[in-house]
Each structure stands twice: as C-alpha cells, then as structure tokens.
Amino acid sequence: MSAFRHYFTIHCYSFAILFLLYSLFALGGLFPELAMKEGMLLYAMTAGIALLMAATDRLPLRSNGLIAAVRLLDVAAVVFAIGLPSGFIPLEADIILYVLGLMAVIFVSITGLFMIKDSAEATAINERLTKRKRMMNSEKDKEDEHEANH
Amino acid sequence: MKLIIDQSPEYGELEITIKCGMIDERLERLIAQIRMMSSAITGRKDGRSYLIRLEDAYYFESIDNKTFIYTESDVYACSQKLYELEQQLAGSHFVRISKSCILNIEKLASVRALLNGKFEAQLSNGEKLIINRHYVQALKEKIDL
C-alpha cells in the first residue's frame, strides 16, 4: 500500500468512526448537535492527525511503545492546535480530557486494525522464510549425501 | 535432476548450462544462487581492497551518498551507487527494503510488524533493519509469497 493510501485510509476510517461516535453522544444528549462548521473541524482534525503521523512515522523508531506514544502526542497536538483557537473545545480540563480520550481511542483502534493486518503479513513472510530455509537445508543434505556416496 | 560435470584441462572459463523444460521455483532459486556465487564485489576497508562474494554480503546501505557493504561482522566501503547495485543485482537474492538499503534475503531470519506500518527485519547475524511499507510487496514477491 502506498504511503498516501495508507494515511488517507487512516484519515477516512477515523473520520467515519469519530462522526458516528459524536452523533451517538449527541443523540444521548452528551454533546451538542453537530453543525456544519464543527463537522468540518472534525474533518480537519482527522486529516491533520494523519498528516502529522505521516511526518512522525519518518522518525527511526523501532519500539512499538515509543511509536504509540508519539502517535498519541500527534493526536493531542492537532486536537489542541485546531480545537482550542476555533473554540470547538472549551478550555475546560474535563472536556479537553474527554475529547482527547475519544480521539485517542479512535486512533488506537485504527492503528490496531492496521497492526492486525501487518502482523498477519509478517507471520506469512516468516512462515515462507522458514519453508525456504527448510528446502535449502534439505537440498544441501542431498548434495552432501551425493558427494559422500561418490 | 541429472548432474553432468564435464571436466577437461582444455576448458578455460567455467561455463554452466542448464537444460530444462520449464523454470520452476526451485530452479529459479538455483539460478539466483549461481548468479550470487559467480559474482563478487570490491569493498574497501582501512586502505585495502577486498573482493567480497555476493553470498557473503548481508546488505548494502547508502549513507550520505556513500555506499557500504555489510557482511556478517565487517563493513566495507563500495564505489558503486545503490541504484547501480540494484540494477546489477536484479534477479538475485537481493531486494530493496528502503530508500537507502538493499537486503540479501538469504540472510533474513524473520520480520516483525511495527505500529507505524513498517516492518523490522532481523538478520541471521542478529542485526535489525527497517523495511519501509512501500517495499514490502517487493520482498513478498522475492520470496514467492
């Protein structure tokens, strides 16, 4: 998958899930109804987070824990940078935490989905590598046996 | 498979001819192996030049426009550019895994998925390299997956 498709998929999935969750919370009376402007802000947030992730993924990190921490920071940075100046997120600690938690859960879920797919791919590659090594060893054994017989 | 070895003092350069009905996966690997064994590359280290067999090279890496050859425990400088090596090594056991690295898949022990969509490759000497998402498909094709 090309880098653009990968991050665009993250953005689209995230926006769809966020929009759905926000709508459910709004139906339950927890959030105010979503106006057009707020919808666009949510879109800008998920796009911004995907863009920032594309940038921070260039860091030479090899620890999944560290990568997850950087991704959560990406989420926090974009949510604050867009949400606070626009007035979408009021400067109240409990609301900020609530919104951050919601965004983090969405991005962790999306990253998890990709991780499941990538882990399956890694398992398939490892199985193939093991099979190749087994084949090579058996061919080498046959050659050794052939040489020993002559 | 029949193995015919025709040895004579009259022959000069070693010549390998393969007669087959079709090239299957095993034969492809054998051909790649012969290509690797019949090729060597010059590496420099501490002012000396060394001829390194391709089968001994773990990977090639480009750092600051300089190319390096990594063997099990040594690093040699190489005069060729990475893209030149990539062209030269087409059809062998080498595959590009990032903008700056070409890996010998015969030295690849295992891979691990990372959260950022990249893979971490562990080599048979314990070294670890990053496989960029963009090159995963090429690696899979190289190992016939």
Contact A72, A105 (CB under 8 A): no
Q: Can you give the pLDDT at residue A150?
A: 65
pLDDT at A26 over 70: yes
Higher confidence at residue A54 or residue B91?
A: A54
Pairwise CA distance, residues B115 & A67, whole Å? 6
Q: Could you tell me the pLDDT band of residue B10, with boundaries at 50, 70 and 90?
A: confident
Distance CA B88, CA A146 (A): 33
Closest-CA distance, B100 to chain A, in angstroms, reads: 13
Residues of B in contact with A104 (CB under 8 A): none
Cβ neighbours of residue A136 closer than 8 Å, sequence gap 6 or more:
B29
Using the beta-carbon criterion (under 8 Å), do A3 and B114 form an inter-chain contact?
Answer: no
For residue B131, the 8-state DSSP code is: E
pLDDT score of B128: 95
Mean pLDDT over B36-65 rounds to 89
* Domains annotated on chain B, with CATH: 49-142 (2.40.50.1020)
Q: What is the mean pLDDT of chain A?
A: 85
Taking the C-alpha atoms of residue B56 and residue B40, their distance in angstroms, rounded to an integer, is 9
In DSSP terms, B44 is beta-bridged to: B49, B77
Q: Which residue type, as a one-letter code, is found at position B9?
A: P
**For B110, which of A6, A68, A126 is closest by C-beta distance?**
A126
Where do the domains of chain A lie? 3-114
Query: CA–CA separation, A30 vs A102, rounded Å?
Result: 13
Rounded average pLDDT over A34-60: 90
Structural element, H or E, at residue A80: helix A64-86
Per-residue pLDDT, averaged over A59-84, amounts to 88
Compute CA distances A37 → A41, A44, A98, whole Å: 6, 11, 20
Mean pLDDT of A79-86: 87
Confidence of residue A88 (pLDDT cuts 50, 70, 90): confident
* Contact flag A122-B139 (C-beta cutoff 8 Å): no
- pLDDT tens for each residue of A50-69: 999 999 988 988 898 999 88
Which residue of B lies nearest to A59 if distances are taken between CA atoms?
Answer: B116
Question: For residue B128, which residues of chain A lie inside 8 Å, CB to CB?
Answer: 62
Beta-carbon neighbour count of residue A129 at 10 Å?
18
Instruction: Mean pLDDT check: name the lowest of A41-45, A94-98, B36-40, B111-115.
Output: B36-40
ipTM more than 0.95?
A: no
How confident is residue B37, by pLDDT bands cut at 50, 70 and 90?
A: low
d(CA B130, CA A61): 9
Please give the share of chain A, as a percent, with pLDDT higher than 70.
Answer: 97
**What does the pLDDT read at residue A105?**
81
Residue A35 gets which letter from DSSP?
P
Res A12: pLDDT:
92
Give chain B's mean pLDDT: 90
B52 in contact with chain A, both atoms CB, cutoff 8 A: no
Locus of tokens 């998929």: A9
- Which pLDDT score is estimated for B94? 93
Q: Residue A149's pLDDT band (boundaries 50, 70, 90)?
A: confident
Residues 6+ positions from A7 with CB-CB distance below 8 Å = A50, A51, A53, A54
* Residue A122 near chain B (CB below 8 Å): yes
**Is B140 in contact with A111 (Cβ distance < 8 A)?**
no
